[in-house]
Amino acid sequence: MNPVSAKYSRKDTGWRLFLRTIVARAYPRIIGQQREMSWVIFEVVMPMLAVISYVFVYRALEAPQDYIGFVVMGGAMSAFWLNVLWSMSSQLYWEKETGNLALYIMAPNSMMAILLGMALGGLLATALRAVTVTLLGSFMFGVTYEISSFFQLFSVFMLAMIALYGMGMMMASTFLLFGREAWHVANLAQEPVFLASGFFFPIKFLPFWVAAGASFIPLTLGMDAMRQLIFSGGFQFGLFSVQAEIYALAVMAVVFVASSKFLLAYVEKLAVREGRITESRR
């Protein structure tokens, strides 16, 4: 056999196929972000308008300077929530509408690997927007940071991202089962989460049970812990201790990733066994 043809005819299986699928699905999102630079401008300018408006409100109310930092962080972290909501949770529904979902189901690779690739590509592209918003906000409003523990800060961020994108993969299956209602559910979930998760104010000031319920969204505890670790006066605005929030994020990461695997397997089984991928009967 020709060595060249042998190289390209090799069939990857197991973990090799899993990893190659992740890279293949991450590639279009990373490269696509570079080819359409106008997206970067809109994704940075529009969130900055919300950040600026909240900063002016807090300055008019003569709020503590830490509140300005809270707003800048919230504007940066909102990029990850929007990426999960629109580029993860609704992704399988959109793929179904464009006719690609059937190909994903028939392909020998794992649905989990496909969504993980989307998550990785989206995470890297979204991180650019988050860093840009943070740098612009810090420069424009003179935000200062006093990090008390780099290790805890890194742990909180990574656990929050794993839990958040695990929830996104879980919601992708759920939204797909909703059928045509997926678009409306995604629209409905966007603004309430901004409020309940405390993107632009400390979550501690919400009623306790509302804040506790919002804590099931990983970004709620993630932002609360990061604010305590980054700003000098952040500890007095924390809902729980940083240690407790790290443990909670670790549990959510495991639960959401495991649940997403179960739901993706259910959707795949439904498609193969009954020839449909929504709960609505034909």
**pLDDT one-digit tens code per residue, 90-136:** 777 777 777 777 777 777 777 788 888 887 887 777 887 888 888 88
What pLDDT, on the 0 to 100 scale, is given for residue 61?
Answer: 86
Each residue's pLDDT tens digit, 8-63: 556 666 678 888 888 888 887 777 666 666 666 666 777 788 888 888 888 888 88
- Burial code of 57-90, b = ≥16 C-beta within 10 A, e = fewer? ebeeeeeeebbbbbbbbbbbbbbbbbbbbbbbbb
Instruction: Flag whether pLDDT at 276 surpasses 80.
Output: no
Strand ranges in the chain using DSSP code E only, listed in sequence order:
none
What is the band of 282 on the pLDDT scale with cuts at 50, 70, 90?
A: very low
DSSP secondary structure code for residue 145 in this structure:
-
Q: How many helices (H) and strands (E) does the chain have?
A: 12, 0
Q: How far is residue 7 from each of residues 1, 14, 21, 25, 227, measured CA to CA in Å?
A: 10, 18, 18, 22, 51
Looking at the whole model, is its pTM more than 0.75?
yes
pLDDT reading at 164 higher than 70: yes
202-219: pLDDT as tens digits: 888 888 888 888 888 888
Q: Are 169 and 257 in contact (CB under 8 A)?
A: yes
Q: Burial of 214 by CB count in 10 Å (0-12 exposed, 13-18 middle, 19+ buried)?
A: buried
pLDDT range class, residue 5, cuts 50, 70, 90: low
